[in-house]
A and B are shown apart, each in its own frame.
Chain A
Amino acid sequence: GAVVSQHPSRVICKSGTSVKIECRSLDFQATTMFWYRQFPKQSLMLMATSNEGSKATYEQGVEKDKFLINHASLTLSTLTVTSAHPEDSSFYICSARPSGRTYNEQFFGPGTRLTVL
């Protein structure tokens, strides 16, 4: 149980285009999902907290108009990187926190590697 999927796993796009990444909790409901960014051999940097049915909470320094987050259901959150540029190339990982659990462990998706040319 507690499986999180992410799609696509890898995407290459041209500068200026937008890319949508989906994060799904497959066998549990998640009121809260998180989006992280990870550079090679570095830690996970939290970008935003996504809450079902409400606006996402963005971390300081993360542009909400550039990284659009939608958490339309208890099993799906999407991250859209708008007008992507080469500096947006990174590994994007989502995680989901099961609703109603006492422990707040997060279950991570396999990640999406974005390359912007």
Chain B
Amino acid sequence: GQQVMQIPQYQHVQEGEDFTTYCNSSTTLSNIQWYKQRPGGHPVFLIQLVKSGEVKKQKRLTFQFGEAKKNSSLHITATQTTDVGTYFCAGHGGTSYGKLTFGQGTILTVHP
């Protein structure tokens, strides 16, 4: 079945440093989504990437979708303490029900 690998599992940064998490799918994806889960909270939708090579920005967050639609990355510039949480990528294989396969997540801690 479809697998989505995400690295790193943990990332500790000083406030102001950049952060990147990477996802790789075992199969070509229809689209990929990114979610953020704060400690003790539930996943919150951030963005969806659909097109090959697509790049989208949300303030300090930059999302990329690979040319082959099998990998993706999330980059945060100049991290802030509010960025703390777990970032998940989730791949959609194109089924009509919209089933997502989640990566393992990257737990980000930001030291002030």
Mark A residues whose CB is within 8 Å of B: 32, 34, 41-46, 49, 51, 57, 60, 93, 95, 97, 103-111
Contacts and interface: CB of A to CB of B under 8 A. Distances in A.
Interface of B: 1, 31, 33, 35, 41-45, 48, 88, 92, 97-105, 107
A103 B44 contact: no
Contacts of A111: 42
Given A93-B43, A108-B43, A109-B42, A46 B48 contact: no
A57, A103, A104 — most chain B CB neighbours (10 Å): A104
Say whether chain B's binding surface is mostly helix, strand, loop, or mixed. strand
Nearest to B86: A41
A44 B102 contact: yes
A103 B48 contact: yes
Say whether chain A's binding surface is mostly helix, strand, loop, or mixed. strand
Contact of A106 (B31, B41, B100): B100
Given A107-B45, A110-B41, A111-B42, A42 B104 contact: yes
Contacts, number: 51
Contacts of B107: 41
A5 to B, nearest CB: 11
A105 B104 contact: no
B33, B43, B48, B104 — most chain A CB neighbours (10 Å): B43
12 contacts: A34-B100, A43-B102, A44-B102, A45-B102, A46-B100, A49-B99, A57-B97, A93-B42, A93-B43, A104-B98, A106-B33, A108-B45
